[in-house]
Structure 1
Amino acid sequence: MSIVGMNNAERIEAACSFLLQSPPGEINDVLNDVRNIISDDDSLHEGVLPALKEYNLSQFMTVDVPGTQHQSIISEAARVAATGGGQERFVDPRSKTSFLFDHLSLEASDSEPVEADADSEPFRAALEKSTLTYLSAHFHDGVASIFASKDRTNQYIIQVVANKYNPANYWAGRWRSEYTIDLSENTIHGKVLVNVHYYEQGNVQLSTTHTVSLALPAAVVTSSPAASASKIIALIEDEEGKYQTSLNDTYQEMGEKTFKGLRRALPLTRQKIDWDKVLGYKLGAELSSSKGGMFGNT
């Protein structure tokens, strides 16, 4: 059945599916497109609100924290409480405040101070300092939030997101990474998620997930908070550096081989493409840009 033949409830369900698959930085464009199909803003907003919440949380949407000069990540780890409608309260450990976040307008308001846990704060703060140093060295306009776990002692969560939107050249990308550091079990478990969308006269998307599982040497755990945090971030830096190198190799192979297999032998110009010079074409050039990749320099 086409979307034209659907009833309103079925259209809302389809709209939610579209929203959850929105490429980085393009959810407003998708929302505007489905608005033209639904033709009922009140019904649309109410129907897609759960999908917007899910998208914002899973994609690590960022927001300017009221009264500060930095941004914070909207995620499950940051969520404090729901207040009804499209607003929920989130915590920003860096400024020791909480704020209301509107999932429709993507704006924060009503900042309030929160009291940090005295036992976990020294190590959390040390992790934050080391993470921000790493962020400034390797990610352009990246955002990081570091939390003490709500459920377990001696457990901390590092979240990083970096976005690159380049609509003038028809591509966008998002890097997300999340790590759980457990000082009781001496482990790091995490994942890196990368989404890239290239859409000039076509629609090419890359979506990858890389899992990380590392053991922490005893010397790391028994060091001072500052020394331990620095060593933990060094382990993460090494792991992410190797992964980004593998991504760069993938981009190179896509430009040289994969897209050659996808293209027709004779395009509309009726002239064969010289695939030995494919990196000279715009698509190949975008995919194999600098070694630093779209998200930073490792």
Structure 2
Amino acid sequence: MESHERIQAACNFLLQSPPGEINDVLNDVRNIISDDELLQEGIVPALKKYNLAQFITVDIPETNHQSIISEAAQLSADSQEGEGQERWLDPRSKRSFVFDHMALEASDLQRFEPNESFEPFRAALEKASLKYLLAHFHDGVSSVFSNQTTPNRFILQIVANKYNPTNFWAGRWRSEYVVNLNDHSVQGTILVNVHYYEQGNVQLSTTHSISIALPPGIVTASPESAGTKILALIQTEEGKYQTSLNDTYHEMAEKTFKSLRRALPMTRSKLDWEKVLGYKLGAELSSSKGAFATGSS
């Protein structure tokens, strides 16, 4: 296999990495490629694609919070300074930064001046989302972005990760909502990925779409009131989806998985474990007698 084919295969493996396990996958493909310089050059685009799709979070220097790396966070070319320096936005601190997709670190912070006409509602939606995180997500991160050219259009993103390698499982919850005050709607997507890998490899990957019509009273309310009410609607929808997932897990455990295994052995009769133990003990005794007889002759 040629070098570029091996790099392409490595990129495909990386893009399919389960939550929190991309470094393990990267170490494995490094052993396959055996050329760190070539590997780093070839996989950076794949890492960027993975980070954006998975809502990878980054610590923002000089703050005590994290921000989400996503397409919504990427600043347009005319908003960036310097050639070849992609910049990303942390709307909470009003800072832009350079992001290292391999080291997952932010650097070169600069002030970012948001559109003053859109900022009150964006900030209110952000405040409501942070309260929602505290109530429902363990170590969750949210970011709220406003479209700097389109009035009344905002993007709310939420991500929560739980890694438990000791017990061989990991999971990630991602949700994104486009809040459009112009047509009084919220269009959302929830993505859940869970990986169990104790003596096996089982993954759950789901996508769920949400559409919410905003009552006129919300659109005309103050930013603070509107933000709180919109998050309440999102909470209701996410709660329904969480309940449906729980019901599905229960049904799979009680029906689906049981139907995959044979209820009885090939003999179509249940095993009598006491007899099996007796057979085993009898065989051991017979073996011992034979050995004793051989040794005494």
TM-score by length of 2: 0.85
Alpha-carbon distance between aligned partners in 2 of 1:59 and 1:263, rounded to the nearest angstrom: 35
Alpha-carbon distance between aligned partners in 1 of 2:136 and 2:161, rounded to the nearest angstrom: 13
Alignment equivalent of 2:248, drawn from 244, 247, 250: 250
Name 1:123's counterpart in structure 2: 121
1:147-178 per-position Cα deviation (integer Å, ceiling 9, x unaligned)? 10245211000000000000011100000000
1:203-235 per-position Cα deviation (integer Å, ceiling 9, x unaligned)? 100000000111111011001111111111110
Alpha-carbon distance between aligned partners in 2 of 1:44 and 1:261, rounded to the nearest angstrom: 44
Alpha-carbon distance between aligned partners in 1 of 2:260 and 2:170, rounded to the nearest angstrom: 21
Question: What's the % identity of the aligned pairs?
Answer: 68
Do residues 198 (structure 1) and 193 (structure 2) align?
no
Name 1:40's counterpart in structure 2: 35
Alpha-carbon distance between aligned partners in 1 of 2:14 and 2:232, rounded to the nearest angstrom: 36
**Preserved contact between residue 100 and residue 111 of structure 1 (Cα < 8 Å):** yes
Higher Cα Rg, which structure: 2
Partner-residue secondary structure (3-state), 1:18: helix
Partner-residue secondary structure (3-state), 2:98: strand
Distance change in 2, residues 1:37/1:115 (3 Å): same
Structure 1 unmatched ranges of 5 or more = 1-5, 274-298
Alignment equivalent of 1:63, drawn from 51, 58, 65: 58
Partner-residue secondary structure (3-state), 2:39: helix
Distance change in 2, residues 1:263/1:32 (3 Å): farther
Alpha-carbon distance between aligned partners in 2 of 1:263 and 1:62, rounded to the nearest angstrom: 41
Distance change in 2, residues 1:264/1:101 (3 Å): farther
Distance change in 2, residues 1:116/1:35 (3 Å): same
Name 1:230's counterpart in structure 2: 228
Matches within 5 A, 1:1-298: 6-80=1-75, 88-263=86-261
Alpha-carbon distance between aligned partners in 1 of 2:149 and 2:41, rounded to the nearest angstrom: 32
**Preserved contact between residue 88 and residue 102 of structure 1 (Cα < 8 Å):** no
Aligned Cα root-mean-square deviation (Å) = 2.0
